[in-house]
Amino acid sequence: MIAKLQDKVALITGSGRGIGKALALKLASEGAKVVVNDLDPVSANDVVAQIMDTGGDAVAYVGSVTADNFAENFMAAAIGAFGAPDILVNNAGYTWDSMIHKATDEQFDAMYDIHLKAPFKLNRAFVNAVMLSAKAEASEGREVFRKIINISSIAGEYGNVGQVNYSSMKAALGGMTKTLSKELGCHKINVNSVAFGFIETRLTEATNDKKTIKVDGREIGVGIPEKVHAGFAQMVPLGRGGTAEEAANGIYLFCIPESDYISGQTLIVGGGLRM
């Protein structure tokens, strides 16, 4: 049986760990050639090694999606390694929470840069990278579908206390997704979004210790107090938070040929959770 994504070229931002890593391994298992991106070269190269060890093909591209010229360089790296891209997943991100009366401009701008401006630049670079091929295929009467998946959150669908910056960007990303689905449909580029609920990652792990990660020179707090974590889990109709692999499976649905006639949609992967 031929793999569903045999020889497709997939670019996944933030894929050195968590949901992005799970997706990279999933797409590679279905035959995709994967460009793994992360801020941490060790994490990115580890995912590449895991893919190669199982007979897949992957390369690492280390860097921040908010850096100047990242999008164009990311596309160039993919083309240099494997050829024109077929799938782009805008997955990289983090949260920097605060109630509105304490929120700073820096917090708002940081969420704008990574959750809205970076996907805009990456989507534009992806389209520019495939446009000539798409036009040639159309002139020949062939339908070759390509995929953009923007990663969102139920916070963007329903709002969430303490996340005015993050929620705003994810809500705006929904508008971008719908607009691009209309602009790019004639070029057979499907544009969809996946909005996650309570997924178990390092950002949401249960901990009473103060933990941080370093992003663009900033120390950002991660983790949720154990009592709060347990409360979130109880809110999920399916009774628990989702795993990274379960989250990745939701994205996978929009990557495969079975979704070729689906565009402009937001799929909520949250175990039934509504905030």
Instruction: Let me know if residue 74 belongs to a domain.
Output: yes
Going by their DSSP bridges, the two strands 266-269 and 218-222 should be labelled as unpaired
Least confident of 111-125, 194-208, 237-251: 194-208
Instruction: Let me know if residue 54 belongs to a domain.
Output: yes
Instruction: Let me know if residue 107 belongs to a domain.
Output: yes
Instruction: Let me know if residue 116 belongs to a domain.
Output: yes
In the annotation, is 166 catalytic? yes
Kindly name the residue from 61, 94, 112, 166 that is annotated as catalytic.
166
The Cα–Cα gap between 178 and 31 comes to 29
pLDDT of residue 87: 98
Phi then psi for 189, rounded to 5 degrees? Answer: -105, 115
- Under 8 Å between Cβ of 18 and 244: yes
What is the CATH number for 129?
A: 3.40.50.720
Instruction: Let me know if residue 258 belongs to a domain.
Output: yes
Model confidence over 104-147: pLDDT tens digits?
999 999 999 999 999 999 999 999 999 999 999 999 999 999 99
The Cα–Cα gap between 110 and 66 comes to 9
Looking up tokens 């005015």 gives 164
133 to 29, 58, 83: CA distances (angstroms)? 26, 23, 11
pLDDT of residue 274: 82
- Across-strand partners of 46? none
The Cα–Cα gap between 151 and 157 comes to 12
Instruction: Let me know if residue 87 belongs to a domain.
Output: yes
**Helix, strand, coil % (nearest 5) of the chain?**
45, 20, 35
Model confidence over 6-65: pLDDT tens digits?
999 999 999 999 999 999 999 999 999 999 999 999 999 999 999 999 999 999 999 999
The Cα–Cα gap between 107 and 113 comes to 10
Domain that holds residue 22: 9-198+247-269
Instruction: Let me know if residue 42 belongs to a domain.
Output: yes
Which amino acid, one-letter code, is at 102? K
The Cα–Cα gap between 60 and 47 comes to 8
Instruction: Let me know if residue 223 belongs to a domain.
Output: no
Number of domains in the chain: 1
